[in-house]
Amino acid sequence: MEVLTPTTLDEALEMLATTSAGDKALRPVAGGTDLLVSWHDQRKDGMRLLDLSRLHGQLNALQLADDQLELGAMASYWDVISSPQVAQAFPLLAQAARQVGAIQIQTRGTWAGNIDNGSPAADGVPVLMAYDATVVLQSRAGTAEVPLDQYYTGYRRTVRRPDQLIVAIRVPRRPRELEWFHKVGARRAQAITKVGVAVVKDVRGWRIVANSVAPVVCRCRALERTLDGGRKFQDPAEIRQILAADISPIDDIRSTARYRGTVLSRLLYYWLLENLP
């Protein structure tokens, strides 16, 4: 096992510049709340870690401006929860953050780590995606900005090259008409999502993002287009039919495809009934 500990961002990028792809790649570690689960059951041979903890002071800032919020790569769920300004400007971020694990996880887990870990059940990703977040990647070769809804290429696969590091997440600030986040889990805390959804309606239209219903956290674009077109629904089955183009839930240890599809449709149907005049 190898651990590299850069003390500056430049040093980190230097270390990543010479890394290879695949199993030997240098893995950035921020809070480590997923990596460290059942740690001593894991094989450490050949594990190469890039410890980002020394960069905390450089990368943890929340910068809220009139036109956008910038979350530093080391910004944690708790950083957002405990910032009244950010929580007020982006209520879904604070709501989602409060439903990740429990406080002991929220103080360590980072939004960037949640994004790059690429779990289809990631709770930070739907709300960021619904808010049209952009991921800022840096490497020795330069900077790249990738809209979060283009960040995933497949199950736990992202566009991030091994030499790149997420340095920030940018979220545009726009007046919103509607916003909503709902997580279904086995418990009210310390639960991995069975079905989750984040909805935003603003001047650009609808964003409906679901987690745990596909190999990646995804926008339900067919449903968004239908709603952009002004469609109203008579029952959840109609929504389920449209969602067939957007989601591909599976049976797994946590839930079933049928439960996920049915519950997501019902959540959306009843929320739309209540919130759309």
Partner 1 sequence: MDKFELSFTLNGESVTHSVPLDARLLDVLRRDCGCTGTKEGCGEGECGACTVLLDGLPVNSCLVPAFQVQGCDIVTVESVAASVVDVLNRTGTAQCGACTPGIVMSIRWLMQHPQIARQIDLRELMAGNLCRCTGYDSIIAGVKQALKTAGEKR
In the block, tokens 């639960």 appear at 191
Interface with partner 1, residue 38, by CB under 8 A: yes
User: What Cα–Cα distance (Å) separates residue 211 from each residue in 43, 61, 86, 97, 216?
Assistant: 29, 27, 23, 15, 7
Residue 248 makes contact with partner 1 by CB under 8 A: no
Q: Which residue type sits at 10?
A: D
> Per CB under 8 A, which region of 18-26, 184-192, 202-210, 265-273 contacts partner 1?
184-192
What distances in angstroms separate CA 89 from CA 11, 58, 68, 123, 208, one per listed residue? 34, 23, 10, 19, 19
Going by the DSSP 8-state scheme, the letter that residue 26 receives in this structure is P
Place of tokens 């996920």: 260
Residue pair 179/204 in contact by the 8 Å Cβ criterion: no
Amino acid at 50: L
Q: Does 103 bind partner 1 (CB under 8 A)?
A: yes
90, two tokens: 């982006």
37 binds partner 1 (CB under 8 A): yes
Instruction: Using CB under 8 A, pick the residue from 19, 107, 139, 262 that binds partner 1.
Output: 107
Member of 9, 25, 32, 238 binding partner 1 (CB under 8 A): 32
Examine residue 3 and tell whether it contacts partner 1 (CB under 8 A): yes
Task: Single out the residue of 8, 53, 85, 256 in contact with partner 1 (rule: CB under 8 A).
Answer: 53
Residue of 9, 17, 25, 29 that binds partner 1 (CB under 8 A): 29
Q: Which is nearer to partner 1, 103 or 237 (CB)?
A: 103
**Where do contacts with partner 1 occur on this chain (CB under 8 A)?**
1, 3, 5, 29, 32-33, 36-40, 44, 51, 53, 78, 82, 98, 101-105, 107-108, 188-190
